[in-house]
Amino acid sequence: LKKALLALGNVLSPDEISTDESTRLSYGQDWTRFSHPDPEVVLRPRTLDQLQAIVRLAIEFQAKIVPSGGRTGLAGGAVASHREWVVSLERFKRIEPVDALDLSIRCEAGVTLLELQEQLRNSLWHWPVDLASKGSAQIGGLLSTNAGGLRVVRYGHVRRWVQSITLVDGTGNIQVLNGELDKNNSGYNFRELVIGAEGTLGIIASAQLKLTRRPRDLLHVLSPLNSIGECLELLAEVRNSALDLEAFEFFSKACVAAVLQNRADLKSLPEANWYCLWTWDTATEDPLSCLSTQPLPGGSLVATDIEAKDLWAYRESITESLALRGWVYKHDVSVPPRQLSSFVKDLEILCAKIYSEFEVFLFGHLADGNVHINIVGPRSVAAEEFLRECESKNADLYSLVKAYSGSCAAEHGIGILKKQELLLTRGPTQVEWMRLVKASLDPHQIFNPGKIFDKSAELHS
């Protein structure tokens, strides 16, 4: 390490290299809490030249690199627990003005989603990605995980809003993936490969992001309902109305109870088994007028955009409220939306059986068929034991997901937590293709080792 540190010291200033315990611990983990962080060093470069130099030194010293953004991931994709070099992009902060001709904006990887939103606040245009962790999540991480979030029903995942990516590749060279082109049908699309690769194929330094027109006047409704079937009927109804649906979320009454325990400032909601929270783009000056043609389920609460924060607090506080309750083991599955009603019924029966000692909270993005299954265990049980216990039930849970032709990772990615489940739901052939792609683009195997899949020998063991 001494030699490597000396070499790093030639390209980085002392405040850009940290080996102290607390920095290593905090930069070595994401929002998952099941691994012991143990990176060798944390590097915080400011320039592309420094980033390239770091990759070349990693090749020379046979070090491994964990690219690091806001570390809000929920699958361990940014965890460094095997003496890796964490390369944080947090000092890559430049945002350029909007390109009005192309409707795009160029920014560096360390810009947070909130900073980008602030930059665009007074413009007609916006980058239509939104998620609860926007204050910390950074552009590089959002692209690397192909983040989903609250607006997928209208805008899709992050990948739809990326024009080009500047990447430091596995040989330390810079690649501009797709240039500034809107139309480019010239062979394999490496931009798409890098998006969602969880930092295994290179380090994203900056990106050109596509923008779209900001919706004019939004209307938000929270409806108490009794069954997932009723939630789906409502979804079909509002989806088929003349207005564009911006979001359609759902959560169980157990989630509301957990939120209310944590947020004394929130009022209790009308009694129900399930709650749907949805948003319309009304495109009118008077969004409430839309309700004259659209009957709402009894007990629905309605808010204009100005008052929407209060309604969204019930949904956006779930993750934090569960984290305060105990250990949280997260599943992030999706099934075809038309199968949701039957899937959730089967899921509830299975969960009652396999997680009888724990609490189960269901919520997520109904319109995307995406169910977040959160298992919460008491802190009196050791974290490792809780993890082991939950993992021992995965075969049962993912057999159900597979029977519904579902995915084991709708939006959180695979990281280190879902590798076995990836094998089950995507199958060994496709995981082998992933390994081959990685071997070609990262010939020295330096980027984010052990994430998404293991080396082939371990794979089939």
Instruction: Name the site residues for ligand MLT (rule: CB under 6 A).
Output: 74, 132, 319, 330, 372
Residue 213 CB, nearest distance to ligand MLT (Å)? Answer: 25
The residue sitting closest to ligand MLT, measured at its beta carbon, is: 319
Residue 330 CB, nearest distance to ligand MLT (Å)? Answer: 6
CA angle 453, 438, 161 (to 5 degrees): 95
Q: Check if the beta carbon of residue 109 is closer than 8 Å to that of residue 89.
A: yes
Distance CA 24, CA 86 (A): 8
- Can you tell me whether residue 19 is helix, strand or coil? coil
Residue 163 or 319 with smaller CB distance to ligand MLT: 319
Residue 75 or 203 with smaller CB distance to ligand MLT: 75
Residue 256 CB, nearest distance to ligand MLT (Å)? Answer: 14
Side chain identity, residue 448: N
Residue 4 or 132 with smaller CB distance to ligand MLT: 132
Residue 30 CB, nearest distance to ligand MLT (Å)? Answer: 12
Residue 284 CB, nearest distance to ligand MLT (Å)? Answer: 29
Residue 245 CB, nearest distance to ligand MLT (Å)? Answer: 17
Residue 74 or 203 with smaller CB distance to ligand MLT: 74
Nearest 10 degrees: Cα torsion 295, 301, 307, 310: -150
Residue 74 or 272 with smaller CB distance to ligand MLT: 74
What residues are paired with 364 via a beta bridge? 250, 371
Residue 132 CB, nearest distance to ligand MLT (Å)? Answer: 5
Residue 293 CB, nearest distance to ligand MLT (Å)? Answer: 30
Q: Give the containing element (helix H, strand E) for 399.
A: helix 394-403
Number of residues that this document lists for the chain: 461
Residue 362 CB, nearest distance to ligand MLT (Å)? Answer: 11
Residue 191 or 330 with smaller CB distance to ligand MLT: 330
Q: Quote the crossing angle between the two packed helices 419-426 and 394-403, to the nearest 10°.
A: 30
Determine the straight-line distance between the first and last CA of the chain, rounded to whole angstroms: 32
Among 307, 363, 306, smallest CA distance to 332 is for 363
Side chain identity, residue 32: T
Nearest 10 degrees: Cα torsion 211, 212, 218, 222: -70
Residue 319 or 407 with smaller CB distance to ligand MLT: 319
Q: Name every residue whose Cβ is closer than 8 Å to that of residue 166 and which is 6 or more positions away in sequence.
A: 48, 174, 175, 176, 177, 204, 205, 206, 207
Residue 95 CB, nearest distance to ligand MLT (Å)? Answer: 25
Q: Check if the beta carbon of residue 221 is closer than 8 Å to that of residue 245.
A: no
Residue 114 CB, nearest distance to ligand MLT (Å)? Answer: 16
Residue 157 CB, nearest distance to ligand MLT (Å)? Answer: 12
Residue 55 or 143 with smaller CB distance to ligand MLT: 143
Residue 220 or 438 with smaller CB distance to ligand MLT: 220
Question: Contacts from 257-262 at CB under 8 Å and sequence distance 24+?
Answer: 258/318, 258/321, 258/322, 258/325, 258/361, 259/313, 259/314, 259/317, 259/318, 259/321, 261/321, 261/325, 262/317, 262/320, 262/321, 262/324
Residue 74 or 207 with smaller CB distance to ligand MLT: 74
Q: Which phi-psi region, left, alpha or beta, contains residue 338 (left: φ > 0; alpha: ψ -120 to 50)?
A: alpha
Distance CA 51, CA 53 (A): 5
Q: Which phi-psi region, left, alpha or beta, contains residue 448 (left: φ > 0; alpha: ψ -120 to 50)?
A: left
Residue 372 or 419 with smaller CB distance to ligand MLT: 372
Residue 74 or 158 with smaller CB distance to ligand MLT: 74
